[in-house]
């Protein structure tokens, strides 16, 4: 393909993909199969890679992400991002309404009412119809530049249609709709990661991801609610807020269909009422509604208070609360042995769903809340999906009611539960023989960040365990296709030849998984990914690690006393040593691979700080290690050099000077690592 043909094809693909994206994100319509769409996108990515001059900043390939955010630049907002006055009381909304009417003194006007989206506020700057910057609210004056991540959100147009100001800002909220939020959380749990507490936190965390490709997978949504334009352009914008939002829709934003124009307080109250009930049917969370004076020329007349405009107010929904009898308490045992008490409730309707169970968190919670037998519990549902127990209903307390107490024994294996003084909850100490703990450890071992045995999901592992084939992680490597085929016959998990082969292939591939991940996969208490990496690098192989005393273990950076004891206790158990031995026999990596290419930095410890010209932070760290050096996160008397990039903080410099540690530039570092160059 010559350059001219390539240009044509890029244009054609861009047009097609933009069109399909628009239909998909704005109108919920899929005009092509996912497969066809992916093919077109892959072709465009390939062409842009071959002809970088053809890759426009507004190319739909940006939606895929891939740009890495090394750090988020702080940006001062051109127009400060104000917040709104808010209230939970309808009376205060009535006061707002009559005050506004009084101040406007007979001028005819109306209100625009819209949803108060429960997400993260951002501002999008468009210049000549192109998205040039996306910034979080931050403290209202300064926020983080999250452009690369925002560009992956399908409902944020990269280029605008219709008429628009030449240089202006669109403000709105990034929300995480319930469905993709829950799917993502389920996946996190399956992989042994902490789930997000609610969609808002998850939206905020997603916008701050270093890897924009990961952000692209999160299926966030943007809800616009405001246009900010410089004064000289403002006269050409529609003169009502609802009109401006409609213009945003014509530009290509997805406007929520819940916008309403209200004439008076009765209309406003009806709108509040409607959404207080219907909010549970929305695909995303809202925490109230926002009322704005609709005629924008009146805004200046009403003015601002210290932090918020006088022409708008937010009404926040109260969390819905009901009281219902506690029927019984059951106990769930997690993969680490932590026991969670669960209240079984008389089913009760709350915020659009029927609640039957709710967590009681731990023994501490039960004691503090003073839950007694026969009590009625107060259950609340706020802007979130998960109902919470917030207390005991005093009206239903029977005289002489006894505390509910707490289970003595594990409901799964019968072992006596343990509660460490000072800890909030109980755990089952029978780690090696308690079924959910065994399956939990298998799941952790198989998870993506550990051994990545993708054909062994939780249900399959449970089945293998129940069939008596696998009781610990080493048993996985004794599996054969013959033993697998035919398992679970008649169930959805039934294993055919193809699945058995896939399992064997995944196990085979896992023999190449680096030692640090094998160590993480063992599931030693308190040893997360980072800890495993540090331990692996420090000790080099499993034998050194198993021989280490708690004192030696605690020498490793980021390994505290608690972790050191946990590691030492783990390897003190003969059955664990036996598992390690069997995994070694099975061919798993039990030592760090020597990717080291040089030893010019052997024995030296480096701290790196600031931004570098020829390296990313991770690259310079890898470079140091590849040359035999060590990288440390903080300066100490053991540091050999501080490699200073641009924008290194003065605090670091002062500390290095105090400790007499040589501060070297990136170039000097290069000379040290590769002296022959
Ligand atoms: S209007 C000057 N409209 O609620 C007008 N805000 O304290 C500024 N929010 O930080 C905001 N939905 O993040 C507006 N429909 C909506 C909103 C909304 C959610 C958030 C926004 C702001 C906070 C108000």
pLDDT at position 384: 66
- Rounded Cα distance between 314 and 291, Å, is 6
Mean pLDDT in residue range 427-440: 92
Q: Which residues contact 325 (CB under 8 A, 6 or more apart)?
A: 345, 346, 374, 375, 376, 377, 396
Q: What is the best residue among 87, 113, 121 to mutate for testing ligand 1's pocket, by most ligand atoms within 8 Å of CB?
A: 121
User: Exposed, middle or buried, 667 (CB in 10 Å: 0-12/13-18/19+)?
Assistant: exposed
Flag whether 222 is in a domain: yes
Residues 85, 179, single domain; the answer is: yes
Q: Is the CB of 226 under 6 A from ligand 1?
A: yes
Q: Please work out, in degrees rounded to the nearest 5, the angle formed at the alpha carbon of residue 429 by the alpha carbons of 345 and 453.
A: 85
Instruction: Specify the residue with its C-alpha closest to ligand 1, atom 17.
Output: 116
116 assigned to active site? yes
3-state helix vs strand vs coil in the chain, percent to 5? 40, 20, 40
Residues 485, 388, single domain; the answer is: no
- Rounded Cα distance between 87 and 249, Å, is 29
pLDDT at position 445: 95
Residue 48 belongs to domain with CATH number: 1.10.287.610
Instruction: Specify the residue with its C-alpha closest to ligand 1, atom 14.
Output: 225
pLDDT at position 64: 79
- Rounded Cα distance between 545 and 205, Å, is 35
Mean pLDDT in residue range 309-315: 95
Distance 460 CA to ligand 1 centre (A): 46
Q: The domain containing residue 379 runs over which residues?
A: 320-396
Residues 172, 50, single domain; the answer is: no
Lowest mean pLDDT among 16-20, 527-531, 596-600: 596-600
- Rounded Cα distance between 504 and 510, Å, is 10
pLDDT at position 25: 82
pLDDT at position 72: 85
Inter-residue contact 386 to 402 (CB < 8 Å):
no
Classify the C-alpha dihedral 413-419-420-424 as positive or negative. positive
Question: Which residues on adjacent β-strands are paired with residue 221?
Answer: 175
DSSP 466-477: HTTS-SSGGGGG
Mean pLDDT in residue range 450-463: 91
Distance 83 CA to ligand 1 centre (A): 6
Closest ligand 1 atom to the C-alpha of 226? 1
Position 331 pLDDT exceeds 90: yes
pLDDT at position 70: 67
Residue among 73, 116, 307, 498 flagged as catalytic:
116
Residues 103, 224, single domain; the answer is: yes
At 96-149, the pLDDT tens digits run 999 999 999 999 999 999 999 999 999 999 999 999 999 999 888 899 999 999
Position 677 pLDDT exceeds 60: no
Inter-residue contact 259 to 113 (CB < 8 Å):
yes
Helices 561-572 and 574-585: angle between axes, nearest 10 degrees: 80
Helix H segments across 401-496?
435-446, 458-466, 481-484
Flag whether 256 is in a domain: yes
Q: Is the CB of 116 under 6 A from ligand 1?
A: yes
pLDDT at position 597: 63
Q: Which residues contact 439 (CB under 8 A, 6 or more apart)?
A: 335, 458, 461, 462, 465
3-state DSSP assignment of residue 504: helix
At 332-357, the pLDDT tens digits run 998 778 899 999 999 998 877 789 99
Residue 292 belongs to domain with CATH number: 3.30.470.30
At 369-399, the pLDDT tens digits run 999 999 999 999 876 678 889 999 999 999 9
- Rounded Cα distance between 627 and 597, Å, is 6
Residue 639 belongs to domain with CATH number: 3.40.50.10190
Position 197 pLDDT exceeds 80: no
Q: Which is more confidently placed, 454 or 488?
A: 454
pLDDT at position 555: 87
The distance between the two most distant Cα atoms of the chain, rounded to a whole number of Å, is 88
- Work out how many domains the chain is built from and give that number: 6
Residues 520, 669, single domain; the answer is: no
Inter-residue contact 625 to 596 (CB < 8 Å):
yes
At 20-75, the pLDDT tens digits run 988 888 777 888 887 888 889 889 988 988 888 888 888 888 887 766 666 788 89
Residues 611, 576, single domain; the answer is: no
Flag whether 428 is in a domain: no
Classify the C-alpha dihedral 454-455-459-461 as positive or negative. negative
Flag whether 595 is in a domain: no
Flag whether 68 is in a domain: no
Flag whether 67 is in a domain: no
Q: Is the CB of 286 under 6 A from ligand 1?
A: no
Q: Is the CB of 331 under 6 A from ligand 1?
A: no
* Distance, CA of 397 to chain centre: 41
Q: Is the CB of 84 under 6 A from ligand 1?
A: yes
3-state DSSP assignment of residue 427: strand
Distance 115 CA to ligand 1 centre (A): 9
Residues 57, 81, single domain; the answer is: no
Flag whether 292 is in a domain: yes
Residues 381, 469, single domain; the answer is: no
At 615-659, the pLDDT tens digits run 877 778 888 988 888 998 889 988 999 999 888 888 889 999 999
Domain closes at, from 12, 42, 62: 62
Inter-residue contact 292 to 311 (CB < 8 Å):
yes
Q: Which residues contact 213 (CB under 8 A, 6 or more apart)?
A: 64, 65, 66, 152
pLDDT at position 556: 87
Domain closes at, from 316, 344, 360: 316
Q: Which is more confidently placed, 443 or 194?
A: 443
- Rounded Cα distance between 183 and 177, Å, is 10
Q: Is the CB of 287 under 6 A from ligand 1?
A: no
Residue 576 belongs to domain with CATH number: 1.10.150.20
Residues 130, 246, single domain; the answer is: yes
User: Exposed, middle or buried, 174 (CB in 10 Å: 0-12/13-18/19+)?
Assistant: buried
- Rounded Cα distance between 340 and 496, Å, is 37
The per-residue b/e assignment along 580-604, b for 16 or more CB within 10 angstroms, e otherwise, is: bebbbeeebbbbbeeeeeeeebeeb
Domain closes at, from 316, 340, 358: 316
pLDDT at position 568: 96
- Rounded Cα distance between 328 and 632, Å, is 51
Q: Which is more confidently placed, 213 or 343?
A: 343
**Mean of the per-residue pLDDT values of the chain:** 90
Residues 505, 520, single domain; the answer is: no
Distance 443 CA to ligand 1 centre (A): 42
Q: Which residues contact 589 (CB under 8 A, 6 or more apart)?
A: 511, 512, 513, 514, 515, 518
Of all residues in the chain, the percent with pLDDT exceeding 70 is 97
Inter-residue contact 342 to 359 (CB < 8 Å):
yes
Residues 151, 229, single domain; the answer is: yes
Flag whether 69 is in a domain: no
Residue 384 belongs to domain with CATH number: 2.40.50.140
Q: Which residue, 319, 328, 375, 373, is CA-closest to 350? A: 319
User: Exposed, middle or buried, 374 (CB in 10 Å: 0-12/13-18/19+)?
Assistant: middle
Closest ligand 1 atom to the C-alpha of 308? 2
Residues 366, 489, single domain; the answer is: no
Q: Is the CB of 117 under 6 A from ligand 1?
A: yes
Lowest mean pLDDT among 383-392, 408-417, 454-463, 521-530: 383-392
């Amino acid at each position: 393909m010559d350059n001219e043909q390539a240009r044509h094809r890029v244009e054609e693909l861009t047009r097609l993909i933009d069109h399909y994206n628009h239909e998909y994100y704005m109108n919920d319509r899929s005009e092509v199969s996912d497969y066809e769409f992916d093919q077109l996108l892959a072709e465009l990515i390939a062409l842009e890679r071959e002809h970088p001059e053809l890759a426009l900043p507004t190319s739909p390939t940006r939606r895929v992400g891939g740009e890495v955010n090394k750090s988020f630049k702080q940006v001062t907002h051109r127009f400060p991002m104000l917040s709104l006055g808010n209230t939970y009381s309808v009376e205060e909304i009535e006061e707002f309404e009559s005050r506004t009417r009084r101040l406007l003194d007979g001028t005819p006007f109306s209100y625009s009412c819209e949803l108060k989206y429960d997400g993260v506020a951002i501002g999008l700057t468009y210049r000549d119809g192109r998205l040039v910057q996306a910034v979080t609210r931050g403290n209202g004056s300064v926020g983080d530049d999250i452009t690369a991540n925002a560009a992956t959100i399908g409902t944020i147009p990269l280029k605008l249609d219709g008429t628009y100001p030449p240089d202006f800002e669109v403000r709105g909220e990034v929300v995480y709709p319930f469905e993709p939020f829950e799917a993502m959380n389920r996946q996190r749990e399956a992989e042994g990661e902490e789930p997000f507490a609610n969609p808002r936190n998850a939206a905020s965390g997603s916008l701050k991801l270093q890897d924009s490709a990961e952000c692209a997978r999160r299926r966030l949504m943007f809800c616009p609610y405001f246009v900010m334009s410089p004064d000289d352009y403002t006269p050409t914008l529609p003169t009502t807020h609802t009109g401006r939002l409609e213009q945003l829709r014509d530009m290509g934003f997805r406007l929520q269909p819940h916008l309403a124009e209200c004439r008076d307080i009765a209309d406003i109250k009806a709108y509040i009422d409607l959404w207080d009930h219907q909010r549970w049917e929305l695909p995303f969370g809202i925490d109230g509604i926002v009322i704005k004076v609709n005629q924008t020329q009146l805004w200046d007349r009403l003015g601002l208070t210290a932090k918020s405009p006088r022409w708008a107010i937010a009404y926040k929904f109260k969390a819905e609360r009901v009281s219902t009898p506690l029927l019984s308490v059951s106990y769930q045992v997690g993969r680490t042995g932590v026991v969670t008490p669960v209240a079984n409730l008389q089913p009760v309707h709350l915020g659009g769903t029927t609640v039957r169970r709710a967590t009681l968190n731990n023994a501490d919670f039960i004691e503090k809340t003073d839950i007694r037998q026969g009590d009625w519990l107060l259950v609340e549902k706020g802007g979130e999906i998960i109902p919470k127990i917030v207390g005991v209903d005093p009206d239903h307390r029977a005289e002489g009611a006894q505390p509910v107490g707490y289970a003595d024994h594990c409901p799964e294996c019968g072992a006596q539960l343990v509660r460490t003084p000072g800890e909030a909850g109980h755990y089952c100490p029978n780690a090696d023989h308690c079924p959910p703990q065994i399956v939990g450890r298998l799941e952790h071992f198989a998870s993506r960040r550990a051994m990545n045995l993708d054909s062994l999901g939780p249900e399959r592992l449970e089945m293998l365990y129940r069939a008596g084939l696998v009781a610990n992680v080493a048993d996985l490597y004794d599996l054969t296709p013959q033993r697998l085929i035919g398992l679970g016959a008649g169930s959805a998990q039934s294993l055919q030849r193809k699945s058995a082969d896939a399992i064997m292939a995944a196990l085979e591939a896992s023999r190449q998984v680096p030692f640090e991940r094998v160590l993480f996969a063992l599931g030693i208490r308190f040893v997360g990914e980072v800890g495993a990496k540090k331990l692996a690098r420090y000790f080099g192989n499993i034998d050194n690690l198993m021989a280490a005393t708690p004192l030696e273990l605690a020498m490793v950076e980021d390994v505290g006393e608690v972790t050191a004891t946990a590691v030492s206790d783990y390897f003190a158990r003969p059955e664990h040593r036996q598992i390690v031995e069997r995994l070694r026999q099975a061919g798993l990596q039990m030592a760090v691979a020597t990717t080291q290419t040089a030893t010019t930095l052997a024995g030296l410890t480096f701290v790196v700080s600031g931004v570098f010209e020829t390296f990313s932070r991770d690259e310079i760290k890898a470079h140091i290690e590849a040359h035999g050096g060590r990288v440390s996160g903080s300066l100490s008397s053991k540091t050999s050099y501080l490699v200073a990039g641009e924008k290194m903080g003065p605090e670091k410099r002062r500390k290095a000077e105090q400790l007499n540690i040589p501060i070297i530039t990136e170039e000097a570092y290069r000379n040290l690592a590769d002296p022959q160059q």
